């Protein structure tokens, strides 16, 4: 299995902030991680920081070899 191209790091959050993100994620049918990434992208866009579109997650089985 290939390594994930995303950067992993520890993030300490106030429990109330985490709970609010968790509720928002559930409402958007996302994981907490995906919600945090979405919120960060939105905040950066409001500040004028341009990012490439996120690479969509690969779903399903990998193609058969040979």
* Cα 59 from Cα 36, distance rounded (Å): 21
State the pTM of this model: 0.73
Q: How far apart are CA 36 and CA 18, in angstroms?
A: 10
- For residue 50 the two structure tokens come to 């341009």
Band (pLDDT 50/70/90 cuts) for residue 4 is low
DSSP letter at 10 equals -
What is the CB neighbour count within 10 angstroms for residue 35? Answer: 19
Average pLDDT of the segment spanning 30-57 = 91
pLDDT score of 43: 96
For 37-48, the pLDDT digits (tens) are 999 999 999 999
* Domain definitions of the chain by residue range: 15-46
**To 10 degrees, the CA torsion angle through 59, 63, 64, 66?**
-160
């Amino acid at each position: 299995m290939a390594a994930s191209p995303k950067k992993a790091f520890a993030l300490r959050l106030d429990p109330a902030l985490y709970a609010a993100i968790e509720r928002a994620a559930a409402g958007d049918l996302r994981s907490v991680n995906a919600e945090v990434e979405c919120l960060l992208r939105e905040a950066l866009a409001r500040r004028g920081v341009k990012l490439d579109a996120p690479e969509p997650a690969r779903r399903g089985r990998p193609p058969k070899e040979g």
